[in-house]
Chains A and B, each alone.
Chain A
């Protein structure tokens, strides 16, 4: 069974630009969560989508947004990029929504975003 795929794997942008990252979950999984991972802050939750609805949102500014399509694929958008947005952005899919038992998350390889 194919795992979680994320595109692109690497991205370089400049301050002020915007970026869109894509995530394709494991077939049959309806929950997609996004995380930011940095050496300074570790792994931090951004938001979760389940059946095209945002269920939970972490403590990030409104520049970070996302959406989920009917086929469960998800995109994450960051507008007006700042230097501090440089990070590894990870997507994780799950069969069930957060809060449900056995909510095992399967992570993709991540997108490495560098903001210059």
Chain B
């Protein structure tokens, strides 16, 4: 059974204070690792898909990286509008059903 653990559960940053969110996973043959952003009262918004260890993707202040056991979402010089819950999900070769982590709630103070 695929497992996804995200840490920390909550993170408070000052504007401009860079940090990283962690997504640790246990799967039988990773097919894809997905990052989403979810704002209160809205559905998740797709950010990145990573497929193999060593892969990196960037979008504005966000950068996602992948190893064989975990993924990091690096946030550089965050702004208050980056405040949201960030979700990580995996699909594996054994099952195409995505397994989501519980998310990291990020608050960026001005």
Q: Hey, what's the 0/1 contact readout for A35-64 against B, CB within 8 Å counting as 1? A: 000000011110010000001101000000
Task: Kindly state the separation between the CA atoms of A42 and B49 in the bound complex, as whole angstroms.
Answer: 20
Contact assessment for A98 and B43 in the assembled complex, using a CB-CB cutoff below 8 Å: no
| Residues 88-106 of A at the B interface (beta carbon under 8 Å) | 90, 92, 97-99, 101-106
Q: Hey, what's the 0/1 contact readout for B89-108 against A, CB within 8 Å counting as 1? A: 10100011111111100000
Contact assessment for B96 and A43 in the assembled complex, using a CB-CB cutoff below 8 Å: no
With beta carbons under 8 angstroms apart, the residue of B49, B97, B100, B102 that contacts A98 is: B97
Interface SS of A by simple majority: loop
Number of interface residues of A (CB under 8 A): 24
Give the contact stretch, choosing among A65-73, A75-83, A107-115: A107-115
Take A107-B43, A108-B43 as given contacts and tell me if A42 and B101 are in contact as well, using a CB distance cutoff of 8 Å.
yes
| Residues 16-52 of B at the A interface (beta carbon under 8 Å) | 31-32, 34, 36, 41-46, 49, 51
Contact assessment for B46 and A104 in the assembled complex, using a CB-CB cutoff below 8 Å: yes
Task: Kindly state the separation between the CA atoms of A56 and B51 in the bound complex, as whole angstroms.
Answer: 21
Contacts of A45 in B (CB 8 A): 97-99
Contact assessment for B49 and A58 in the assembled complex, using a CB-CB cutoff below 8 Å: no
With beta carbons under 8 angstroms apart, the residue of A44, A101, A103, A104 that contacts B100 is: A44
Contact assessment for B96 and A56 in the assembled complex, using a CB-CB cutoff below 8 Å: yes
Take A58-B97, A99-B31 as given contacts and tell me if A107 and B45 are in contact as well, using a CB distance cutoff of 8 Å.
yes
7 smallest beta-carbon distances between A and B, as pairs: A107-B43, A99-B96, A98-B96, A43-B100, A42-B102, A107-B44, A45-B97
Residue numbers of B with Cβ under 8 A of A are: 31-32, 34, 36, 41-46, 49, 51, 87, 89, 91, 95-103
